[in-house]
Structure 1
Amino acid sequence: MKPLSYALRCLAVILCLGVAVPAATPAFAVQPDEMLADPALESRARELSRGLRCVVCQNESIDESNADLARELRLVVRERLVEGDTNEEVLDYLVQRYGQFVLMKPRTDGWNIILWLSGPALFLLALGIGVSYVRSRSKASTPTETTLSDEETARLNEILKES
């Protein structure tokens, strides 16, 4: 009976591993019918699709998304590559159709440069305002040194003698 229970335990471990290992690997939504026969083109397509956002899911790349629009975008990427487009041309085509939002990492040119630079610029502006405020407060709180007039000195001496 021991050999049978040992064999059942081994079988259970193998089944658990068979389920757990594929679940631990990243899930890709690319279907076999979408894949290109040329491994170099398929590799380029996968690289491009990892950098493109699914406009339906918004936080997944089209490589990971199961949405119908993501599938269409994957097919468009592959069609453009088969036609001979470079990676940049494929990205430009998709940006022209869907806007910069389709890129997982937006470009830092054109109007986007304003968005990229506005954060550091506002931080430096706030820092400058804070420094000038602190400096103005420190100047206002330091008493100015003045000398007492003869009359004030006499009055002060009287007060000190009384106490």
Structure 2
Amino acid sequence: MTFETPPDAVVAETPQLARPSGRKGLVIGLILALVGVVALGGLSAYLWSVHSQYVAQNEQLRDEAATLGTDVATERARVEQLQAQLDETAAQLETAKDTINGLANSEAQAGDDRQALIDVADGLQECASARQDLIDHLNESYKWTAASLAQREADITTYCKKVTKAYNEILDD
């Protein structure tokens, strides 16, 4: 079965959504465009402000870095100068130590040499006294045997030669 629509029948139209009129759409578009332009302008102003602050901060940091670089270079030069002075002072100290040790050794040697000379002088005095004693014995030779006088002379001569040898060794040092 087929239904045919009667020709005179009124067909109801489907309701259409209401469309804005062309003017309303244009106004809304303009408002949206204006809001977008204002937002972009505000964003641009904000970005320009941030950029300006960044540039100023960057310049300030560069100036501080240059100042710190100069300070570091100055301090390095000062440290190098102080190190050179320290090295020179250490070398002078080492030289002074060597000199003091040399003087101390010389003084000790001089003390030893002085004592040795005193001992030799004492020995020479004893030698002179012993020879005088031998002369006195020879003057009274009748009291002594010839062998005892000869032995006494040999002992004194040996002793005096040892003293003279010690004296010569001191002079050779």
TM more than 0.5 = no
| Structure possessing the higher radius of gyration over alpha carbons | 2
Question: As a proportion of its length, which structure holds more helix?
Answer: 2
- Higher RCO (CA-CA < 8 Å; seq separation 6+): 2
* TM-score normalised by L of structure 1: 0.31
